[in-house]
Amino acid sequence: MSPDTLAVSIFSWHGHRVLSRGDMYKKNLIGKILIDDPVFLAPIMGVTDLPFRRMVKRYGAGLVFSEMIASRQTIEKCHSAIKAREDYAEEFPMAVQLAGCEPDVMAEAARINVDHGAALIDINFGCPIKRVVHKLCGSALMKDECLAARIMEATVKAAKVPVTVKMRLGWDEAHRNAPAMAKIAEECGIGMVTVHARTRNQRFNGTADWEAVRAVRDSVKIPVIVNGDILTPQDAKRAMEISGADGVMIGRGAYGRPWLLRQVMDYLRSGAVTAAPEMDEISRIVREHYDSILRHYGEYQGVAIARKHLCWYLGNLPGSCAVYTEIKTMQDPEAVKEKLAGYFASGKTGF
């Protein structure tokens, strides 16, 4: 069966109809939430904070996901969890991703985040980082389908909003159980599954196996979203065609390019690639993002956090190596802004 004849976008919870391929770019429903396009910003620790999500949403995204939040930290009201969830109403709709291995704790964390305005709850079964896996969280749960099921059931029961899951293909090449896990998720009441098309042991190495996601798509009736190595609008289209997925989730491809999701949505609609912003607009984006980071985290912490974002922005531009070499050691944000302004005004940034 070709991708064009596959049933697409079961963007429906609570009894809404299944949407056909022809309905794909109409208003799609996730529960009672309208989704214009199934092009999502991935949850990424240390990246998809409020300032970055705002920049992406400026250009447009079907849905944005928070950084992964530890469920127990949410309950204990640690500073980082409160910081992550205090602005949900402003960003509505947005999804909050939770990580944990205790069903009751995950359930309570889901309730707390919904009370603070989360429109969806996403469960993390995909994080490959050692400190997460060693706590039997993230992708470690791909090895324990029974515990994963209990977590999903408890979270769905507690959340009272749509609950989704992000997973990997499996723990390693010998244990690619994503189709089975997706089926369990569907039976637990999960409304959508996102698959990063690598195993945990691959981490971010090698190439994403989009073809392997087709087995997940064929195993369930709920939407399946493909993730991994989607760096261009053309990648997004190919990933959907190869995997049969109902949409795409973009992570690293958006680093330094918060407009990429808008380009993907336009390309899937029209087949034409929208041009990237002009250099004067990129200059404004960088400055506004930098100022937003400083306001959100405070000057001292913000200067350090902003460096990776400046590296990504400048890394996509010509003649930027020297200016970033200077900026990355600067502690004074005004000096950083002055150096950036000089770079963008220098006339060396033309394509």
Ramachandran angles phi, psi of 165, nearest 5°: -135, 140
Alpha-carbon distances of 209 from 44, 126, 196, 198, 223, rounded to whole Å = 20, 15, 9, 6, 18
**3-state SS track over 224-274:** EEEECCCCCHHHHHHHHHHHCCCEEEECHHHCCCCCHHHHHHHHHHHCCCC
| Cα dihedral: 73, 79, 81, 83 (round 10) | 180
CA 293 to chain CA centroid, Å, is: 19
Check residue 90 and give its pLDDT.
65
Q: What residues form DSSP beta bridges with 194?
A: 166, 225
Q: The tokens 């003649």 sit on which residue?
A: 319
Q: The tokens 């960003």 sit on which residue?
A: 91
Residue 296 CB-density burial (10 A; 0-12 exposed, 13-18 middle, 19+ buried): middle
Burial pattern 84-107, b for ≥16 Cβ within 10 A else e, equals bbebbeebebbbbbbbbbbbebbb
One-character DSSP codes across 161-211: S-EEEEEES-SSTT---HHHHHHHHHHTT--EEEEESS-GGGTT-S---GG
Q: How far apart are CA 40 and CA 65, in angstroms?
A: 8
The whole-number mean pLDDT for each consecutive block of 10 residues of the chain, a chain of 351 residues, reads: 31 34 48 78 94 93 89 54 54 86 93 89 90 85 95 95 95 92 96 94 89 96 94 97 95 96 95 92 96 96 96 90 91 94 74 32
Integer Rg of the chain from CA? 20
Check residue 31 and give its pLDDT.
58
Q: What is the model's pTM? A: 0.86
Catalytic residue among 78, 101, 127, 321: 127
- 127 noted as active-site residue: yes
Alpha-carbon distances of 166 from 78, 197, 310, rounded to whole Å = 24, 11, 28
Check residue 122 and give its pLDDT.
96
Q: How far apart are CA 79 and CA 120, in angstroms?
A: 22
Domains, in order of start, for the chain: 3-270 (3.20.20.70), 279-345 (1.10.1200)
Contact 315, 295 (CB under 8 A): no
Query: Could you say which DSSP state residue 18 is in?
Result: P
Q: How far apart are CA 179 and CA 212, in angstroms?
A: 9
